[in-house]
Every structure is written in structure tokens, then in C-alpha cells.
Structure 1
């Protein structure tokens, strides 16, 4: 096993795609790197997830300007992770929106998450010196909030715990399209280091109940058409369930973290081993699933030091 995380050596630039998933709705994707979404309303634009730095956010703005010159009025952040939120200042939006639970996580663990993610995945923080500090929302909500971009309605909702305790989605009902953040992935590994793995499948079922025509996922290609939507929902559920069940058997049987890692590999490598960021996510996924199986409901805070300790335990 390598002495460094797989992502530390991932320095290859990714090809950006900008895909229309509905009328005036776009997905900014980059081969398994964090996605952003764009909702063009009657009089302004909403961005879903900001990217990790203002420099990377500028690439999203450049794509937006190829399809509209309307001002960016809202940046919606689906959860608190640094790679999603730290580029928010680049959009000059009037409002930054988060779920209330996500804002609480910024306060509790935002700085630690920033430092941990930066050490794990340096390529995603290109231009990090331009980050002005932690991103704080101007608006929060608990369960549901509706924003009107002129006549276009966007429903922001917390549908349940999944990738984090504070995930939200953005639903555009006139188009049957949802921006899910990292609750849904497509041919990219789910990062479960701060997850609630046993709750995640029920949250996917809540998304499925909307009978969507398209999803812009957290990572991976845009999902256009119900066949792709259903396949991604099924696949995400399989990834999470396969990981948790394999690790839980070991943890609840008194096994070690390294033994849990071996069990997760046996269950997941054949199905998901070629997915984007799989090797990056796996050790964090195993560590969180191990904790959850032993009754630790609130994910422990990741720090750069805890990352190293976990990696050493897996190698030992």
C-alpha cells in the first residue's frame, strides 16, 4: 500500500464538459472532479456548488457566459465540504444559500475539513491562495425553501442524511430536473468519510419519488433520461450498501480496520474499482463505515493528523 493517499499523486488536468440537462439548466462536469450546476431563470442565474477555489469557479463563470449574460444572483451549496464551497466569492452573488445543518458543520469542522482536503487532494485547490476564508451563507433553511428566479421556481430541500448530515438538493419542477450534490454519483466513487451510510439509500428513494427526467450529480456525467437517472440511483445505492455491509460484518465481529479494508475491497473492487477517485475514497469510506457500525452516529472530524493516523492503521 502506498504511503500517501491516491489523490495526492493525481495531478492530471481533467476535460471539462458543459451539458444542458433541461431548458436553461446546465451541468459543469470534469471527469469525476466536483461538478457544479447552473439554473438560468427569467432574470438571473443560480449556481449549484461553487468549486474549491475562486480560480476554478472562474471556469464555471466562463461557461455560464457562453450561454447567458444574466447576473448570478444565488450560489447554493449542497453541503459543507471545502471542494464545494471555497470558490463562492468568485460569483459575486447577492445570496449564498446552505442548509442550516451544513452551516453548523462549517462552524464545527470547516477549517479542519479545508486543511484535510487540501492535503489529500492538492490538484483540486489550484489557486488556493485566492480563497478569502471559510464560506458562510447569507441564507439558511431547515427542511425546504423556494427561490424564484423571475417566474422560474427552484425548490431547495433536505431529503435526509446521506453524503453528510446536511445535504440539500435543488429541484426545478418545470423541467423535472434535480441537482443532487454528492448524494448521487455516476461512475465515480461515493465519498463516505462524513456519511450516514445506513440512511443514504432511503434518501436516494426520496429522490427517486420525484420521477425525474434528468439529474446533475455531484461527480460524473450529467444524467439525461430516466434510464440513466434510475441506473445512477441504483448504482449509488449499491456502492453505499456494499461498502457498509462488508465493513460492518468485520467491525461488529471485533475485527480490525485493516481487516475491514480487505473485506470492503473484496466486495467493492470487482464492481467499482475502475470508478473515478475510488482509491482516494476507499480508506475514508472504510473508516466511517467502521465507526457507524459500532454506533458512532456523528462522523468524527477529519484532520490532517487523523488522516495520517487512519492511513497508518490501514497499513498495519
Structure 2
């Protein structure tokens, strides 16, 4: 494998943004494989699902929201703890913010490894941290839950769910049952690689099953275009399930054969490149994905903490041997 620039440090091209209305109350802010943001506009307030990476970048989301409503943005929901999704939350403080909502396992992960994750992610993908100096520090939830809570935004029912582990141990989804719209966070991806560096790969398919049992008509995935009909939704579930199960199966087979990590990477590429090599951020994700899959297949249940130093050591070991 030819040596490449570390992670996505060479990715400097801004992506075109789409802001689409999916139902009476649901909107999707998407950007060609960059992290998506969901917007729910209730009778009396607005909810943001994933806060972007910096407060300055959050202003771009706020500007789109303000094109369609002047209601206060009372709620920010964190679908998980990754810095690229949470560090922009302070950008909503002047918009009426009352609560930052996350699952309790997400709070635990922020406490345990939030600082290391912030430093790691900024180093991996600097374009997604525009105006990084505007980040005041870690984002802390003000309201946590274990399995599920329900908010009423006027007459609109909003269920906030922790369906199980997958992308992380704290993944959260937002479900609008009256309109059958699901905001999945990175539990579902569309036309983008699944980042699994902090994943529970053995658990992820069952978590997808729980979400699919809701029978959503539309889905805002963590990355990629909004899934706007039931055929696209089925394809999104199938694609994500295929990605994570193929990755984990490759690692299990490699460990059973006694392969080291670099040999596991080569074997995984031989299987996954033809199927997934064309999707957004595949080259960025795969070294982290294979490392975690190898760990889990070797019996390491909980993901090891990524640090900026560990990122680069792993990357260069897999790229250069």
C-alpha cells in the first residue's frame, strides 16, 4: 500500500451544503459525506441533532434554520461523543438553548476520553474544524437518559432513543413517530464509509434491527444524502449492515489465521475495496476500522482510547510497515 497523507489532512475542499425539508417538522442539513445535522421545528421551538465541530461552523446551520423559522433553538441532541459532532454546541447559546441532551453512556465517554478524542479528531480532519480556536472546551450534556426519553415540542412527539451500542456505546437516535422520520447519527450511513474506530461491531447489527423495527419512512444518516423514500431507507440499513459485518468477519478470519495487524489490513482490503472503496471517507476510515475490528476479534471488548500520538503511530505502521 502506498504511503498517503495522514488521515484527511490533505482534504481541503469545502463540500456543497443541502438543506432539505423531509416532512412538516423535519429538515436535513447534509454536505456530501461530511457529518450531517438534523433539524426538528416544533410548534414552539427547534431541536438540532448534532452540533457540528465548532461554534463558528454552527452558525452556518443557524443561518439555514433562520431562513425558515425564528423560533428559539431550545434543544441540541448529541448522537454520540465524537468531537466533530459535539464541539459546536456552544454556538447555540445565543439562540435560546436550554438543554444539551445525550445518553448517559455518551456522558461517560466524554468524561473518560473526550479530551483525547478532541485532540485526535482535530489532527485527523482539520477542514471539519474550521475556526477551531472558537471551541471553548468540551461539550457537556445538561440532560442525560439511559434508554429513552420523550419530548413534546407543542403537539409534536419527539422520542430520543439509545437503541444499543454500535458506532459507539452511547449512540442516540431521534424518532418522530407521527411523521416516521428517523435521525440515526452514525448508526446508519449512506454513500460513506462507517467509521468504526470506537465501535462495538458484534453489537451493531442488532442495534440496526431495533431501529429498522420502527419502520422509518425517511432517515437522516450520519453522513451522506437524506434517505427520502422507503426503498432508500432499506438500502441504507442494508449498506450499513453489510459494511460493518464484512469488516468484522474479515478481522475474525484474520485473527483465526494468526495474521498480524498489517496482514489483516491487506486481507480486509482485498475483500472490502471492491465493494466499498468508492464511498466517501473510505481511505480515511479504513485504518482505524481495521485496527478496532482486529482488537474486537482478538477479545478486546471495549475500544481503546485514540490519542493524536496513537493515531499517527497506527497510520504509519499500516501504511509503511
Q: Same fold (TM over 0.5)?
A: yes
Identify the residue that residue 79 of structure 1 maps to in structure 2: 80
The C-alpha deviation readout for 1:231-250, integer Å capped at 9, x for no partner, is 00000000111111112211
Identify the residue that residue 251 of structure 2 maps to in structure 1: 247
Identify the residue that residue 190 of structure 2 maps to in structure 1: 186
The ranges of structure 1 where at least 4 consecutive aligned residues each deviate by more than 3 angstroms after the TM superposition are none
Identify the residue that residue 7 of structure 1 maps to in structure 2: 8
TM-score (norm 2): 0.97
Structure 2 runs not aligned, ≥5 long: none
* Paired residue total: 316
Q: Secondary structure at the match of 2:84?
A: helix
Identify the residue that residue 288 of structure 2 maps to in structure 1: 284
Distance 1:4 1:109 in 2: 25
Distance 2:113 2:19 in 1: 32
The C-alpha deviation readout for 1:25-73, integer Å capped at 9, x for no partner, is 1010000000000000010000000000011111110110111111100
The yes-or-no answer on 1:34 pairing with 2:38 is no
The yes-or-no answer on 1:105 pairing with 2:105 is no
Matched-pair contact (CA < 8 Å) for 1:250–1:260: yes
CA RMSD of aligned residues (A): 0.9
- Decide which of 285, 295, 299 is 2:299's aligned counterpart: 295
148-157 vs 97-106, which deviates more?
Answer: 148-157
Alignment of 1:205-244 (within 5 A): 205-244=209-248
The C-alpha deviation readout for 1:93-130, integer Å capped at 9, x for no partner, is 11000000000000000000000001110000001100
Matched-pair contact (CA < 8 Å) for 1:180–1:216: yes
TM-score (norm 1): 0.98
Identify the residue that residue 274 of structure 2 maps to in structure 1: 270
The C-alpha deviation readout for 1:182-206, integer Å capped at 9, x for no partner, is 0000000000000011111111111
TM superposition shift of 1:181? 0.3
Q: Secondary structure at the match of 2:313?
A: helix
Q: Secondary structure at the match of 1:215?
A: strand
Identify the residue that residue 119 of structure 1 maps to in structure 2: 123
Distance 2:312 2:64 in 1: 37
The C-alpha deviation readout for 1:277-300, integer Å capped at 9, x for no partner, is 000000000000000001101100
TM superposition shift of 1:153? 1.0
The yes-or-no answer on 1:136 pairing with 2:157 is no
Matched-pair contact (CA < 8 Å) for 1:257–1:313: no
Matched-pair contact (CA < 8 Å) for 2:56–2:88: yes
Matched-pair contact (CA < 8 Å) for 1:163–1:200: yes
Matched-pair contact (CA < 8 Å) for 1:21–1:216: no
Distance 1:312 1:221 in 2: 32
Matched-pair contact (CA < 8 Å) for 1:193–1:284: yes
Distance 2:140 2:73 in 1: 17
Alignment of 1:148-227 (within 5 A): 148-227=152-231
TM superposition shift of 1:267? 1.1
TM superposition shift of 1:136? 0.2
The C-alpha deviation readout for 1:129-169, integer Å capped at 9, x for no partner, is 00010000100000011111112111011111100000010
Distance 2:7 2:48 in 1: 30
Q: Secondary structure at the match of 1:267?
A: helix
Identify the residue that residue 21 of structure 1 maps to in structure 2: 22
Matched-pair contact (CA < 8 Å) for 2:6–2:312: no
Distance 1:245 1:221 in 2: 27
